[in-house]
Amino acid sequence: MQAARVLKLPVSSDFRTNFQSYSKHYGVGWLQKPIVAYLRKFHNRTQCTMVPTHAMREQLEQLGFHHLHTVGRGVNTRLFNPDKRCAHLRQTWQADDETVVLLSVGRLAAEKNLDLTVKTYKALLQNNRKVKLVFCGDGPYRSKIQTECPDAVFMGMCTQPELAVAYASADLFLFTSLSETFGNVTLESLASGTPVLAFDCAAAQEAIEDGRNGWLVQGEDAQLFVLRALAISQRIELLKDARSHAHTSTLKWEWSSIATQVEQLLRQVLHQHSRT
C-alpha cells in the first residue's frame, strides 16, 4: 500500500477473511476492536474494496468502511457436478444406498464451529438415523474431533477433483461455520448436487432457497440446527427433492460472470484515478 501511494498507483482491495471474528476462538477476543480499526484504516486507503456478500457490505458500512462493492465468488459447475457421484467411494465410507452421508469440507480449526457438526451427527445416531460423517480437510482441530468422533471418516487434504467426487457422493452438507465472509464450499456442494444445511449467513444466505436446494437456520442457535437436521433426515424424500434442484441453482454463479464484474470494477478504479 505504501509503495503504491509513493508510485501514485491506484489500489483495489478485497475483504475476504473475518480476522476480527477469529480472535475470540484463539483467546484474544479483546483484540477484536483494534483489528477492526486496523482493517478499516487499511481498506479505506484503497479506491475500491470488494466484499463477497450484500450482508457483509452492510456490516462493514456500519463499521465505517468506504468504497465497498459486492462481488460474489463463483463455482466451476463442470468440475463440481452430480455426475461425479461414486458408489465405490461410498462403499469405502461403509455407506450403502440407505445411509445418509453427512459431509464437512474445510480447514479443521476452532473458528469453523465443528463441535456443532459432531454434535449434530451424534444426535442423529442417538435418534436411530442411519448416517455416516465424512470430513475433507485438515488442521489443528483434527485430533480433538477424532477423539470425540472416532467412527467418522477423515479424508485429509483433498485435490479439487477428489473434492468433487466427495461432494457428489454425499447426501447432506453440514456447514456449521459462523465466521465466514462467504464460504465457497456452499456453492461447491450445491453444484455437486448435494443440498446444504447452514446458518442464514454468508454465501448460504444468498445461494440457498430454504426447503428447495437446502435449508437455512436463523440466528446462531445450535440446538435449532440439530433439530433441523433431525427433521430432514426423518424424511429422505426431502433430501432427494433438494438434490434435484441443487445443481441448477448454481448455474448463475459461474466464474465467467464474476470475472466480468471484477474487470468492470478495476476499469472503474483506473478511470477514477486517471481523473485525479
Residues 44 and 146 in one domain: no
Residue-wise pLDDT for 15-58, tens only, equals 987 665 555 555 666 688 888 999 999 999 999 999 988 888 99
The verdict on 90 and 182 lying in the same domain is yes
pLDDT score for 24:
59
Q: Verify that 115 and 209 share a domain, yes or no.
A: yes
The set of residues, in sequence order, having a beta carbon less than 8 Å from that of 129 and lying 6+ positions away, is: 100, 230, 233, 234
Mean pLDDT in the chain? 93
**Are residues 197 and 124 part of one domain?**
yes
- Which CATH number characterizes residue 211's domain? 3.40.50.2000
Note down the domain range covering 192. Answer: 82-251
Q: Clarify whether residues 140 and 196 are in a common domain.
A: yes
Are 138 and 158 contained in the same domain? yes
Q: Which residue in the block uniquely carries the three cell numbers 483467546?
A: 27
pTM of the model: 0.85
Give residue-wise pLDDT tens across range 46-71.
Answer: 999 999 888 889 989 999 999 999 99
Residues 41 and 86 in one domain: no
User: Residues 33, 59: one domain?
Assistant: yes
If asked whether residues 87 and 62 sit together in one domain, one would say no
Based on the structure, what is the number of domains in the chain?
2
d(CA 110, CA 151): 20
Residue with cell 454468508: 202
Tens of pLDDT, residues 215-251: 999 999 999 999 999 999 998 899 999 999 999 999 9
Instruction: Please state the length of the chain.
Output: 276
